[in-house]
A and B are shown apart, each in its own frame.
Chain A
Amino acid sequence: MSRMSVSLPGLEMKNPVMPASGCFGFGEEIGTLYDLDELGAIALKATTLEARYGNETPRVAETASGMLNAIGLQNPGLEKVLSDKLPPLASKEVPLLANIAGSTMEDYEAVADALSASGRVGALELNISCPNVKQGGIAFGTDPDLAAELTERVKAVSHVPVYVKLSPNTSDITVIADAVEKAGADGLTLINTLTGMKIDRKTGRPLLANQVGGLSGPAVKPVAIRMIHELRQQTTLPIIGMGGIMEAGDIIEFIMAGADAVAVGTANFTNPFICPELIGELGSMLEHEQVDHLYDLRAEEAGVR
């Protein structure tokens, strides 16, 4: 085992770095820039039962050290994901974490069942935290009872481990995390974006067509670190941490806070080569520190594990 490899339910990763859902599509475009097998895993763009166009434009706005997005879960729908998006990834070995979303529990069940049975997906990421759709999404992520029920139902139909992606838009993330853990979640991913807004000074109105959007980028990193640290005090579940990672030092900070692997989101838009660059830098840093494994960087008393 190399000093970078990590083993998570359904995801045997040769390094702890994956692009975050929604920031990498299904790998088609960035797969022309480098070999996707350099990645630890890939979190795929959210899939819903039916095709979705998403929101009107503008869908993105820059903020200080961050960006707001309101794409609205645009995707071609389950059938096309199975027929067009997964087959090109068949020749690759990189583990896949398939993000699933829906408006009803039945939607989630149908997508979970079909994607997890595809044979190419290592684990599911239950999206109960998208702030940009009117129905479903975040509604399931802010009510612990609904989150637990959905987790339980998806677990019952899934053929692979299920991670639940948590929203930071809640007064106490530990309550939701506890509810989904008791409902059988195999892991947690966090954080999704923070709800925000930008006003266009020319018009006096919200700049994004959807009015609100999800804030990501380095601006949200301290929130992510705090929430991961907080959850690590109460759970031994694997955590995939994300929120504003821009450099290898950020990855180490997430691991120290209690994450077992990390996802890189917004940085892919600034630099589409960022993931392999970070993997290279992290390797050099670990070699320089002369640790046997990435996890050896953690303080001994950190968390319940």
Chain B
Amino acid sequence: MKKENMTITNHRRIARNIYEMELEGKLVQETAGPGQFLHILPPASDSMLLRRPISICKTDKKTSRLTIIYRAEGKGTNQLAFAPEESRLDVMGPLGNGFPAENVSPGEHVLLTGGGIGVPPLYDTACDLREKGIELTTVLGFSDKETVFYEERFRELGDVYVSTEDGSYGTAGFVTDVIASEKLSFDRIFACGPVPMLKALEDAYPNARGSISLEERMGCGLGVCLACVCRSREDSDGTDYRKICSDGPVFSWGEVLL
């Protein structure tokens, strides 16, 4: 983990309220796999004390650059959206444990399932798996047509299905509807998105092999403050927990209580 002023080398809007940002810095060399996150201090503000956890979407160690995708949603991320290229950002990272792409064996068929702003960490995962020659199918869910992003990027790596809640693009409904209607089969599933989506997936495929990535309001991002805990499924006395920032954000299928 490093704390570094990274340089913004590219920054653009790619869908409604969705921004793609490329950052350059030494900490890129410390990334240990897809699904880790950065903890970013909103720029140009004395009144915001908390960093924003944002997943890494793509890493390139050769150029020491990485890409993040975030949704301008609250005060901090809206401030971030104004950060100009060539300016610097106070970044801590890489943090957390990512998707265990290294455990996937050749010949396995992997289903990637992303919802909204949960899609980005799956892109790095998809690239790693493709490099190993793993066969992929991706199902992406968004609220509506205006918020769809990275469909083409994923299509370069395998089959892609898209759903929107309002039916304005792709299949109307949720990712679970697509998986059922297309009768998609898989040996392993990696998912990231809102908790209701993850819960629906774990309920629909209770015996699947795979991992989910969670998000939560965080404090320190290091496992110190205990702001972002969740309960484990095997909780014998009601006090067992996982820290989303440092034990996660990726957990084994069925490990935590959703």
Contacts and interface: CB of A to CB of B under 8 A. Distances in A.
Given A52-B239, A59-B229, 6 more contacts: A53-B231, A57-B216, A58-B227, A71-B226, A74-B229, A269-B224
Nearest to A64: B47
B156 interface: no
A67 B51 CA distance: 12
12 contacts: A23-B225, A25-B223, A29-B224, A33-B1, A51-B237, A58-B217, A59-B229, A60-B227, A61-B217, A69-B227, A267-B49, A269-B219
B212 to A, nearest CB: 16
B112 interface: no
A269 B46 CA distance: 14
B222 A30 contact: yes
Nearest to A77: B239
Contact of A59 (B217, B231, B237): B217
A220 B118 CA distance: 35
Contact of A54 (B3, B219, B226): B226
A188 B110 CA distance: 58
Interface in B207-258: 216-220, 222-231, 237-239, 241, 246
B47 A270 contact: no
A65 B49 contact: yes
Closest 5 CB pairs of A and B: A60-B227, A51-B239, A269-B220, A53-B239, A269-B219
B226 A74 contact: yes
Quick one: which of B75, B218, B225, B231 has the most chain A CB within 10 A?
B225
Contacts of B3: 271-273
Interface of B: 1, 3, 41, 46-51, 75-76, 92, 216-220, 222-231, 237-239, 241, 246
A269 B238 CA distance: 27
B48 A62 contact: yes
Contacts of A15: none
A62 B224 CA distance: 17
A65 B224 contact: no
B227 A23 contact: no
Interface of A: 22-25, 29-30, 33, 51-54, 57-62, 64-67, 69, 71, 74, 76-77, 217-218, 266-273
A188 B92 CA distance: 35
Contacts of B50: 60, 62, 67, 269-270
User: Chain B's interface: helix, strand, loop or mixed, by majority?
Assistant: loop
A258 B135 CA distance: 67
A99 to B, nearest CB: 14
A272 B39 CA distance: 12
Contact of A22 (B48, B217, B225): B225
Nearest to A208: B217
Contacts of B92: 272
Nearest to A45: B226
A272 B220 contact: yes
A270 B239 contact: no
Given A53-B241, A65-B46, A272-B220, A59 B51 contact: no
A57 B239 contact: no
Contacts of A272: 3, 92, 220, 222, 224
B71 to A, nearest CB: 14
Nearest to A60: B227
Contacts of B219: 60, 67, 69, 269
B51 A60 contact: no
A66 B219 CA distance: 12
A30 B224 contact: yes
A137 B49 CA distance: 26
B138 to A, nearest CB: 29
Contacts of A29: 220, 222-224, 246
B13 to A, nearest CB: 23
A158 B1 CA distance: 40
A225 B86 CA distance: 40
